[in-house]
Structure 1
């Protein structure tokens, strides 16, 4: 009898993890699936590219602005209840996107979809910490990392299939049944009262203590480095190495594929070794990978780039699983949503820093603001400077983490 009960409990726990993973997958899919439709949207609405970019920017902007507010709403009104609200908002916004009669209506609907995505990303992480047993918190966080990477990688592929078959509206309409399915799973599997806290006032400095702040800062630095690969990589591969667009796409897919494969194993390592040890290992791999990107491609070409990415990307997944687990480890239940929101905010800030500041470093190394006109040697110089800087950022992240890393490793 006891074995049957344990098996049932285990199946329910995995069911909850699948429901929360589906919410994270949906938010990540929404982030990437619209990008491939931009040329089609520009043609459909006879709009300049600068206006069409609003379809992507509106989603990311509202997601970034909303994550901390959403986290606090989850703490006050219940994480499960607010996740259901977010899934409803996301489904409705996806439908509005699919039937939008004008570009500006589409942009407004995408902004609403970004708010829904903030609920999905933030509260799924908090609920993973709430519902996962202590022995499997790391693998639960690793699963979220895997599905996040899967959604980001799947978006362009799914969009590329749907647009020729059914037009740009299908890119958004396909998300409606997916959101409804996630909603049904959440209603069926998640405990209704999970994460319900007291509606007490909470100052940000009460959450941003000396234990959580290093996790947030390192999250900013790591996200900036990962965005650098997405911003600088295509220029270096296309102009610096002279690869065709198809080959550039294949090489750029290596990172997401490795992320998908390494997410859950990274979480298992966190459960087995402790979050602090795994975080240290992840930051070391990230630093090594960044320095290798700066050096190896100049010596052995595209093989060197792929090899360096193969070192960098597992480091990112190790860091993500460990950092999220550590940040939420000792947080009271009535603050987990808020801390999850801060983790999302710090990641988005890092992505912005990577796209802007590290992009500027790349241009500085290339010796021109218009890198599309630079010759391969200049692009190579810019890439080296960008990733030497990225390696330095990872050393800085390791030093920030080491302020709590070695003093608490025995308790991890």
Structure 2
């Protein structure tokens, strides 16, 4: 199949300028995969009004064009990571890129809304593969001492995709219509496939008799649990109505059954004992918390800028673009800092910056308006990128090769769950703090809601900082008694 083309050697086998160039091309293919999966999320949002008009549908109906994509990613991201560990990460990444590209073409050619929603769910499956295995393949594509820089680059490309989506989508819709926001992925997907096929190291697989089995029951239960939770956080705009409570109850039940099944499985999807590892457990918890905080900037920011500061739609878009732009610019320097100063220290530095930025968002905009908002974002966003690069490096650097896919999936899942939870929970805190309907609230109540929301965000980041300090202490204790050379995960 995809293995007919000889691939480059792994980084520990490559040498000289040829090996370095090959690693750069491999990293380029992984970066483009991350860019496309991120772009697939952000570019569709701007097209919702056009889709509602084209299909004579309500906003709630066309919103499933976005939700189907996000649900597919959240539900399947751990599963595809495990599949990559079993059948080969290069092979599965190529299949994921191909699936993403073909489903993008189907989305652009859709004749009705159900077909478009189906195509977007398939595209989300491809994106889940690309997001998870791009991170998992870093250990195969680059030298270990450059892991931080590679993770920083992937973070940069994710931010570029997020920042580029709304503006690129607007231009494409204005010039070519809504179908162009999906069809633009086709040539880019073809390029990503070609780069990955030619540059990624060949899969190193054990003999078929030694390969672990695939945990079907655990996979189905985890998918059910994640889908129920994601729907509970997104339907009915995050309110705690009967449907949301029923979905949350189903998610809790599914999680309990999943734990029972995994304890008895011969080849579990997730080895529960790995969650006792202080670095992995802390990394997942911190990733969820900080992603919840970052989602608050996207949920609360537009209301504050428009209703409290009185900015027009164009200026709101410009100010809101500052965060993704700063993320894109700070990703690479953050990764290099991780390589030079070490991941544990830079996790702490990133979280301190995020806490300062969150509390600054609670205070400075009220004092200095737009300038205060931008100043706070210039602290919060680089802190987030620094944390991401350091945390991803700390979790992934010493993972056993046969577990990189599933651990990468868990890390990406923690981020996605944080984003989904942040959209609901932080939005609910903002609505509660305004004490009235946000859409009709006056400038003063919106400002009060902003202050309360980001004070809570700052407390969440302090919680993540305490987790980091405890994890560091536990890891140091474990190192004193661990066997030399033993992998952590």
| TM-score with structure 2 setting the length | 0.81
Is 1:312 matched with 2:380?
yes
Query: Which runs of structure 2 are paired with 1:2-401 in the superposition (5 Å)?
Result: 6-193=16-203, 198-200=211-213, 201-202=267-268, 203-211=270-278, 212-368=280-436, 370-401=437-468
Q: Which moved more, 1:38-47 or 1:161-170?
A: 161-170
Deviations along 1:73-113, one digit per CA (max 9) or x if unpaired, are 01101110110110111011101101111011100100000
**Partners of 1:79 and 1:195 within 8 A in 2:** no
User: CA separation in 1, counterparts of 2:384 and 2:458?
Assistant: 13
Please state how far the C-alpha of 1:408 moved relative to its aligned partner. Answer: 4.7
- Deviant stretches of 4+, over 4 Å: 194-197, 406-411
Kindly indicate whether the alpha-carbon contact (under 8 Å) linking 2:327 and 2:382 is maintained by their aligned counterparts in 1.
Answer: yes
Report if aligned partners of 1:80, 1:195 keep a CA contact under 8 Å in 2. Answer: no
Relative to structure 1, is the Cα distance of residues 222 and 168 closer, same or farther in structure 2, using a 3 angstrom cutoff? same
Distance in 1, Cα, partners of 2:321 & 2:139: 30
Q: State the 1:352 CA deviation.
A: 1.2
Cα separation, 2, equivalents of 1:316 and 1:84: 30
Measure how far apart 1:157 and its partner are: 1.5
Where 2:212 maps in the other structure, the secondary structure is coil
Task: Give aligned pairs, total.
Answer: 408
Q: Which runs of 5+ in 1 are unaligned?
A: none
Tell me, yes or no, if the aligned pair for 1:125 and 1:141 is still in contact at 8 Å: yes
Query: Cα–Cα, structure 1 residues 234 and 183, in superposed 2: closer, same or farther, change >3 Å?
Result: same
- Aligned mates of 1:311, 1:140 — CA distance in 2: 22
**Is the Cα contact below 8 Å between 1:63 and 1:118 reproduced in 2?**
yes
**Cα shift at 1:199:** 2.1
**Higher mean C-alpha displacement, 202-211 vs 262-271:** 202-211
> Bigger CA drift: 198-207 or 338-347?
198-207
Q: 1:146 to 1:195 in 2, by over 3 A?
A: farther
Contact 1:25 1:148 in 2 (8 A): yes
Taking the aligned partners of 2:122 and 2:374, their CA distance within structure 1 comes to 37
What is the CA distance between 1:273 and its match in structure 2?
0.4
The farther-off stretch of 78-87 and 161-170 is 161-170
Displacement, 1:154?
A: 0.9
Query: Within 1, Cα distance between the matches of 2:364 and 2:476?
Result: 33
Deviation of 1:209 after TM superposition, in Å, equals 2.6
Measure the CA separation in 2 of the matches of 1:72 and 1:157: 35
Structure 1 residue 330, shift from structure 2 partner: 2.0
Cα shift at 1:344? 1.1
Partners of 1:105 and 1:13 lie apart in 2 by 39
- TM-score, scaled to structure 1: 0.96
Distance in 2 of aligned mates of 1:337 and 1:248: 39
Deviation at 1:192, TM superposition (A): 2.0
- Is residue 127–residue 195 contact of structure 1 (8 Å, CA) maintained in 2? no
Distance 2:198 2:204 in 1: 13
Distance of 1:406 and 1:7 partners within structure 2: 40
Cα distance in 2 for residues equivalent to 1:249 and 1:357: 23
Structure 2 residue ranges without an equivalent (≥5): 1-13, 214-266, 480-489
